[in-house]
Amino acid sequence: MESTHPTAPPHHPPTRPRRRIGRRWPAAAAAVLVTACAAVAVHLPADAHETAEPGYGRDDLRRDTDALRALGVTGVQARVTAGPGRDLVATSGVADVETHRPVPRNGYFRMASTGKALVATVVLQLVDEGRLALDDTVASRLPGLVSGNGNDGRLITVRHLLQHTGGLHDDLPGFATPQEYDEHRYDTYTPREVVARAMKHRPDFAPGTGWGYSNTGYVLLDLIIEKVTGRPWHEEVEARVLEPLGMDRTYLPGATPTPRKPHARAYQVFPSGERVDVTQVLVPDPGGYVSTTADVNRFFRGLLGGELLPRARLAEMRETVPVSEEMQEFWPGGRYGLGLVGRPLSCGGSYWGHGGGEAGYITVNGATDEGGRAVTVSMSTALGGSPDTMLRQERVAGELVDRALCGTGGGGK
């Protein structure tokens, strides 16, 4: 499954994280102004409520989505939810740089690593049912799959996988150039093929001694869910998470290379500076869901509000460890729980979420401790020209989330 809430990061970079397209990366941050988008107006739906939380209203969300567009993001949609029927929605930019059609207010996008929180929720439900334990080893559930080159499934637990502390190397394929995108965008990999790629590398560290974002670990969790339940992992997610919460606009795309309509087209800015339409791509078999801002907010409000897990399991999910120094650049003050990222709020307290990034779509989100308020920002351009532009995009989107959750209007940071 992806990277990137941060969106999900790439694997163990030597310096700052680099975003790869086509598989998973961190929802990162920002970049050179794209002239084609510079004069595009902001669109706010006529039926949007004036405010979702006192102190942060229509003009504030308009300003913050416009700030992302000004970085070079072609299209932005943001939703703040403070209760049933209390949504504030704004869009900015265009859904298509050729036609200049407006960004749909609840359009589909690839949620990428945000899906890790869904998988983690299912794992914790199985733990609560006594069908799985957090201290179970990978080898006890998937004998012989994690071995070779210093990898040892007998030493890696389910908790390690959930928390990215297992040390497994990430080797998901990605696209570093427009040419690679053209040649490999329809390549797919089964979960076992993804794990086999990782086994060609030595671990990044001994299990439990460090933190390193590992999509491979979540692929193994998918396989463990299947082994325990006897059903495909995504059927368990659907039955245990999507259906109970009414998330009927969240689905796996399978062999369909584009999201359902309506959607904004996805663009990637490569290190060469070239911006490419990367809307069409096949996600690997363990890859991410397509969703909407309304469904993502519904998930985090439901999860943190206690609709999916008993209080004790939810508390366990929010037991965190520090992330790596590299990821602190993307998640300032961030700590990783069991499929959730915890971040401090500027107004005090903390919030929880899990962003994602895949093939041009970048998602940043968050919800307050008890799920009272939730924010999701979907951007249809990955500003991957440099680590600085990635970081800027992530931070500007993160500031929107912080202001909306704190109810801080009137300019902010």
Domains and CATH numbers, the chain: 35-406 (3.40.710.10)
What pLDDT shows up at residue 288?
Answer: 82
Q: Burial-class residue 273 by CB neighbours within 10 Å (0-12, 13-18, 19+).
A: exposed
Rounded Cα distance, 130 and 127, in Å: 5
- Report which DSSP code applies to 241: I
What pLDDT shows up at residue 167?
Answer: 97
Q: What are the 10-residue block averages of pLDDT along the chain, 413 residues in total?
A: 37 32 36 27 34 73 97 97 91 97 96 95 98 98 97 98 96 86 90 94 97 95 98 97 98 92 97 95 76 98 97 96 91 95 95 93 96 97 92 95 89 46
What pLDDT shows up at residue 188?
Answer: 85
Task: Scan for tokens 């990277």, then name that residue.
Answer: 3
Amino acid at 340: L
Q: Burial-class residue 33 by CB neighbours within 10 Å (0-12, 13-18, 19+).
A: exposed
Rounded Cα distance, 400 and 34, in Å: 21
Q: Which residues pair with 42 in a beta bridge?
A: 92
What pLDDT shows up at residue 282?
Answer: 87
What pLDDT shows up at residue 175?
Answer: 86
Amino acid at 228: V
Rounded Cα distance, 101 and 396, in Å: 24
What pLDDT shows up at residue 22?
Answer: 38
Closest by CA to 359, choosing from 336, 337, 382, is 382
Task: Scan for tokens 């890696």, then name that residue.
Answer: 156
Query: Exposed e or buried b for every residue in 227-254, given b needs 16+ CB within 10 A?
Result: ebbeeebbebbbebbbeebebebbbbbe
User: What are the structure tokens assigned to 410, written together?
Assistant: 């009137």
